[in-house]
Amino acid sequence: MISENNANLRFDLQVIASWIEPGSRVIGLGCGEGELLHYLKKHKNIRETGVEIMEERVATCIAKGLTVIQGDISEEIADYADNTFDYVILSQTLQQVYQPLELIHEMMRIGRQVIVSFPNFGHWHIRGQVLFRGIAPVTPQLPYQWYDTPNIRILSIRDFREFSRRVNFRIIREVAIDSDNRNRFGKITRFLPNLRATYGIFLISRK
């Protein structure tokens, strides 16, 4: 899965990159500075689009030669026709979305396959802080205090599986990983993922 040329990519992005078929049409929602899209464009010859709200990040992406639109993902996504993309990627952004249900539906409308990754709030470190110290959790993956966090949705890997049954979408692949937010190294967590993994990554599609 992890080849030599993706070793500079953050670990969770390496996992996502390994799922993308070469030559596909990919949209990255909340694409940040375009690390993943840039990698995929260079190594997998994808046709990319990114959406990002921060001017500085958008400018960084465009300066790298990526096609990126500055805007709000919930608004920008509405302009695309059904099945425009092979993959729609929402990387570590779901926990910050106001209307996740609508967004998931929209993502599955414009793309054949959807990749969602999010920090796992079921991790033992978080559980421990709430249970033993009685405080809102602060971890390397979720470094914010309760008053300045952009993360308004608290979900775990188990929650997302439950969500798939309720909203009725298909989970094609799922990987739980233990990795730092900025880390190039990490490992896949197979044993007790909801307790031991820091991130969940899902490949989903319409049923």
Partner 1 sequence: MSEYITHDMTGNTVGKVEKKFFTFAEPPNEMILDSKAKLGPITIAYETYGTLDKNRDNVVLVLHALTGDSHAAGYYSENDDKPGWWDNMIGPGKGIDTDKYFVVCANVLGGCMGSTGPMSVNPKTGRPYGMSFPFVTIADMVRTQKALLDHLGIDKLLSLIGGSMGGMQVLQWAIQYPEMVRSAIPLATTMRHSALGIAFNEVARQAIVADPNWNNGDYYEGKKPDMGLSVARMIGHITYLSDEAMRRKFGRRLQDKEDFSFNFEADFQVESYLRYQGAKFVERFDANSFLYITKAADYFDLARQDTSGSGIQVFSRSKARYLVVSFTSDWLYPTYQSRDMVKAIKKSGLDVSFCEIEAEWGHDAFLLSSERLTNLVKGFLESVYNDIRK
- Please report, as ranges, the residues that interact with partner 1 according to CB under 8 A: 47, 49, 55, 58-59, 61-71, 79-81
Q: Minimum CB separation from partner 1 for residue 71, in Å? A: 7
Per DSSP, which regions of the chain are E strands?
Answer: 25-29, 47-52, 68-70, 85-91, 111-119, 169-179, 186-188, 199-206
Cα 57 to Cα 35, 91, 133: the distances in Å are 11, 15, 37
DSSP β-ladder status, 169-179 and 111-119: unpaired
Please, which residue, 67 or 139, has the CB nearer to partner 1?
67
Q: Minimum CB separation from partner 1 for residue 76, in Å? A: 8
Please, which residue, 69 or 188, has the CB nearer to partner 1?
69
Please, which residue, 27 or 116, has the CB nearer to partner 1?
27
Q: Minimum CB separation from partner 1 for residue 53, in Å? A: 10
Of the candidates 88, 75, 150, which has an alpha carbon nearest to the alpha carbon of residue 119?
Answer: 150
Please, which residue, 12 or 76, has the CB nearer to partner 1?
76
Of the candidates 139, 133, 145, which has an alpha carbon nearest to the alpha carbon of residue 119?
Answer: 139
Amino acid found at 188: I
Q: Minimum CB separation from partner 1 for residue 45, in Å? A: 9
Q: Minimum CB separation from partner 1 for residue 60, in Å? A: 9
Please, which residue, 12 or 52, has the CB nearer to partner 1?
52
The 8-class DSSP code of residue 129 comes to I
Per DSSP, which regions of 94-142 are E strands?
Answer: 111-119
